Structure 1
Amino acid sequence: MSDVREFWVAGRPATGERSFEVRHPYDGRLVASVAVPTHGLVESAVAAAEAVAAEAATLPAFARAEALAHVARRLAERSDEVARLITAENGKPVKWARGEVARAVSTFRWAAEEARRWSGELQRLDTDRAAAGRVALTRRFPRGPVLAIAPFNFPLNLVAHKVAPAIAVGAPVIIKPAPKTPLSALLLGELLAECDLPAGMWSVLPLLNEETAALVADPRLPVVSFTGSGPVGWSIRESVPHKHVTLELGGNAAAIVCPDWSSEADLDFAATRIATFANYQAGQSCISVQRVIVDRSVADTLAERIVTAVEAQRTGDPWDETTDVGPLIDEAAATRVQSWVEEAAASGARVLTGGARQGATVTPTVLVDVPADAKVSCEEVFGPVLVIEAVDGVDAAFARVNDSRYGLQAGVFTRDLQVAFRAHRELEVGGVVIGDVPSYRADQMPYGGVKESGVGREGVRYAMEDYTYERVLVLTGLPL
């Protein structure tokens, strides 16, 4: 298809004077052309968001919840269509695209439920004699319109994680999808247009990256929610120090395999989970398994099983139902990943499997003996590459996880409750997953990192808190 897709300004379809192409990462075919908003239309979207902010903040809970529930239902009804659209623009295997749609349905459903629970807190103040007869009612109110800048790797669900909490708290939202993958966000606009939300409550503006700086700087958008690369994210935060900026910037997630995880069944399970979640989404997930830190007592056995499990991952056409690993977002990304593998090999690393590239597709790769300063070890690969490192004991394993500029999530394969609680206390990450890989995420839980992995939290209720501030009402002279 080669139609020019419209975008959404203040809830209405619009088109611009220019357009850009969206191409399928696997074979480069044209998927669609997308109109680019003019400066005047961008101004209309921002002005409408500012104008509707007061009305949006006073929307009844049922109105916000019903809109969110409607989107959840409609996404479920159109799930196959939406999944195919995600695969077309992003290149992820269609089975993973279906999983993304299901998660987006859950995200909007959770937001509908949270909108109904968003009630505040009542606190007695008469704990001191001077405050007899006083109570405090604390509620949260929107900071103002939200600029939501989304990445390419989950073009529907990561948009949902910004849009749904904004609507749930009554904050207008301007969505800026990734130029590589704007189609899912534009389709989401169709579903939002079916809701009875006030004009100006939302817009979807498929701007090119270089045209986004003016939106970031606009004082009428006091909240910026960004998911993407670290350099871009930190530059946004530095450029608008007086705004409330949340950043989800990725990492180099580690899976620790402890010495007690040593039975045949345990090692098979760990190897399968590691192989799957090092390569799902072609490794283009912020919590994809990149490092495996394994106790030396089981390292050789586990490495063999991981290689076998990785080689069982089927790479190829993302439209094939049996494909596990599709292409990266474009050939430039694949070339970069391949160069990082070659650089590690030149520094002494051994390639146990993979390392080849064809177009935008990189063969799932396993490396050992990798220098600590190699990019594949200390940076975010964002590709289907896995590094295995043997260590002696839990202390060494925890130290290796923490020896990183990043801190998003970590997985710890153990059944030792003491080790599990130590991991929660000592690992410098935003989330610790016991008995599984770091790639697990439930859409209602708090999700985000520390250090260079970002600030703020996603997860519906936690994003709602980020988009709002507390306001206290003190009542006096009550017969408590």
Structure 2
Amino acid sequence: MLAKSYPYYLANKAVYANEKLEVTNKYTQEVATKVALADANVIDEAIAAAELAQGELNKMPPYKRQQILQHCVDGFQARYDELADALCLEAGKPIKDARGEVTRLIDTFKIAAEESVRINGEVTNLEITERAKGYTGMYKHVPIGPCSFISPFNFPLNLAAHKVAPAIAAGCAFVLKPASRTPIGALIIGEILAETDLPKGAFSILPCSRDGADLFTTDERFKLLSFTGSPDVGWQLKAKAGKKPVILELGGNAACVVDSDADIDDAVERIIFGAYYQSGQSCISVQRIIVHEDIYDHFKTAFVEKVKNLVHGDPSDENTFIGPMISVSEAERLEGWIKNAVEGGAKLLCGGERDGAMLQATILENAAPDSEVNAEEAFGPVSVLSSFSDFDEALKRVNQSQFGLQAGIFTRDIYKAHKAWDELEVGGVVIGDVPSWRVDNMPYGGVKESGLGREGIRYAIADMTEIRLMVLRTPNK
């Protein structure tokens, strides 16, 4: 059960300032709880506190940062069911998927705890010329400073964790803006962090309106901005961010190629997961499915039959696979895209019906390349089937996208696997599985409209630290 109300966290402390933000049960659309909403003055205070805390964090030894991260791991494990139930309610995520995300939250903090004591430097040979005789170089990584984090609604626990955990590991103060539709998970993380001995101001977690959040982007006291969300918003924020580095994890319309030698039954099972888990609300959800013509009919028959039998309904039901989309308006948008595709010549193989925020798992065939369901990010339970005859042509079709996050290739040909890895314009190529697969220590991110930089704890720590060089001269060497 959710609490009646939740605070925001300002400079490590819970503040029950108001109950302005209503958080709904995404299945029933009823108000489930209320959350304190921060205004611009509170955000400014949080940034000032982070700036003051940074000096103490710079001095905190790695083993203490590791202890803080391990405390979080223990706290998440103790509150596993509470976190999963909250996620199921506030995000409409089927309970099995919600438990999976809590597990990943724990994994992400575990990885950060391990990496926190492995932030090393290097001795560098500078004697590359007579001029440098007697000089030695060495460098270490130091915290970049206070960080601004903006996280999305679709993975409100783990995508917040991919910002918070490496910041603690690196020794950076931070202010986090969780998604207004799904703030509860981040606030529970804040509750557990508040139990630690992080210096005052080391963290603030502030749900706020988009209009009031300009300081998260523009304030020069922040030394890095990390944003996960839609491309339109992400690129706008980058343009306003000033001199600070910006990490963007944005959208996608991920493609999956199924070659003629693939195990069809295995490909069907994995692509159903990739396209429809948590109602397709993932930036690496399988959206475009490109199948070799020799196996196309077999694949289509099996795929359509299984998708038709997916269980839709209450996300708290253990049997539910398809829950509600995040809002009625989002379901209406995607319903309109499906209708537009059909009017443009696509064939509706199954689904397409909507009831409130519930949209049936949908398969379209041969949608026009410029239709929204092909060219844009659907971010919902829809996939588009088409066939190919030539593998090189299939790769070109994958690349015919404004996005470039991840791609999946089902093939047993090692040469084709390497060709895909060489030629696909994406951040990650997954062989023998869907692009929706991610483990939390791998470098994850995209190119083109899909963003800048990489998540994955070690890679995020690299962004949240700076190299500081020392040169040592030995006279008369």
* Contact 2:149-2:216 within 8 A present in 1 as well: no
Could you say which residue in structure 2 is the equivalent of 1:149? 150
How many angstroms does 1:127 deviate by? 4.1
* Contact 2:220-2:242 within 8 A present in 1 as well: no
Could you say which residue in structure 2 is the equivalent of 1:436? 433
Could you say which residue in structure 2 is the equivalent of 1:216? 217
TM-score normalised over the length of structure 1: 0.97
More off after superposition, 25-34 vs 404-413? 25-34
- Within a 5 Å distance, the mapping from 1:220-299 to structure 2 comes to 220-261=221-262, 266-299=263-296
- Within a 5 Å distance, the mapping from 1:59-98 to structure 2 comes to 59-98=60-99
Name the CA distance, whole Å, in 2 between partners of 1:8 and 1:58: 23
1:463 aligns to 2:460 (yes or no): yes
Could you say which residue in structure 1 is the equivalent of 2:332? 335
TM-score normalised over the length of structure 2: 0.97
* Contact 2:143-2:466 within 8 A present in 1 as well: yes
How many angstroms does 1:219 deviate by? 1.1
How many angstroms does 1:214 deviate by? 2.6
Could you say which residue in structure 1 is the equivalent of 2:377? 380
Q: Which runs of 5+ in 2 are unaligned?
A: none
Q: Say what the alpha-carbon RMSD is for the aligned residues.
A: 1.5
Task: Give identity over the alignment, percent.
Answer: 45
Structure-2 change in CA distance of 1:153 and 1:478 (3 Å): farther
How many angstroms does 1:297 deviate by? 1.4
* Contact 1:161-1:460 within 8 A present in 2 as well: yes
Name the CA distance, whole Å, in 2 between partners of 1:16 and 1:78: 25
How many angstroms does 1:305 deviate by? 1.3
1:336-390 deviation per Cα after TM superposition (whole angstroms, max 9, x unaligned) = 1111000100111001111111110111001102110100001000000000111
Could you say which residue in structure 1 is the equivalent of 2:15? 14
More off after superposition, 300-309 vs 249-258? 300-309
- Within a 5 Å distance, the mapping from 1:43-192 to structure 2 comes to 43-192=44-193
Q: Which runs of 5+ in 1 are unaligned?
A: none
Name the CA distance, whole Å, in 2 between partners of 1:432 and 1:240: 31
Name the CA distance, whole Å, in 2 between partners of 1:24 and 1:249: 26
1:353 aligns to 2:357 (yes or no): no
SS of the equivalent of 1:68 reads: helix
SS of the equivalent of 2:332 reads: helix
Could you say which residue in structure 1 is the equivalent of 2:366? 369
* Contact 1:15-1:36 within 8 A present in 2 as well: no
Decide which of 443, 446, 471 is 2:443's aligned counterpart. 446
Query: Aligned residue pairs: how many?
Result: 476
Could you say which residue in structure 1 is the equivalent of 2:310? 313
Name the CA distance, whole Å, in 1 between partners of 2:104 and 2:119: 22
Report the AA paired with residue 180 of structure 1: R
1:193-219 deviation per Cα after TM superposition (whole angstroms, max 9, x unaligned) = 111111110000011112111331111
1:413-460 deviation per Cα after TM superposition (whole angstroms, max 9, x unaligned) = 011111111111100000000000001101000000000000011100
More off after superposition, 95-104 vs 51-60? 51-60
Report the AA paired with residue 238 of structure 1: A
* Contact 2:70-2:113 within 8 A present in 1 as well: yes
Report the AA paired with residue 176 of structure 2: I
* Contact 1:276-1:313 within 8 A present in 2 as well: no
How many angstroms does 1:29 deviate by? 1.8
Name the CA distance, whole Å, in 2 between partners of 1:212 and 1:185: 17
1:298-318 deviation per Cα after TM superposition (whole angstroms, max 9, x unaligned) = 111111111122123211110
Name the CA distance, whole Å, in 1 between partners of 2:341 and 2:65: 51
SS of the equivalent of 1:49 reads: helix
SS of the equivalent of 1:139 reads: strand
Name the CA distance, whole Å, in 1 between partners of 2:469 and 2:108: 29
* Contact 1:2-1:30 within 8 A present in 2 as well: no
Report the AA paired with residue 29 of structure 1: E
More off after superposition, 114-123 vs 152-161? 114-123
